[in-house]
Amino acid sequence: MSAVVNGREVDAAALCKEIERRCPGVMAWFGTHTFRWWALMWWGSWRLVEASTPKDLLTAIESARSRRPAGW
């Protein structure tokens, strides 16, 4: 599966695996219909985050992790 990031065609599956490697417990994917990058993560509750680029997705994951989990 490929995607276009900053005008370049990239291997979306490889980028998702890299995001998952950097963020244990996260499942990442590229939406072939939305053309957005997505991640599902558990942080006190399930959280779905999305972004327009893989870099922005990493930022969104870190931002979600910096907020206190639900119930704490």
13-28 pLDDT, tens digit per residue, is 999 999 999 999 999 9
The pLDDT of residue 72 is 59
**Close Cβ partners of 7 (under 8 Å, ≥ 6 residues apart):** none
Question: What are the domain boundaries of the chain?
Answer: 2-66
CB of 2 within 8 A of CB of 11? Answer: yes
Per-residue confidence at 71, pLDDT binned at 50, 70, 90?
Answer: low
Q: Write down the pLDDT at residue 20.
A: 97
Going by pLDDT thresholds of 50, 70 and 90, the confidence category of residue 9 is confident
Q: What is the DSSP string of 23-53?
A: STTEEEEE-TTT--EEEEEESSSEEEEEESS
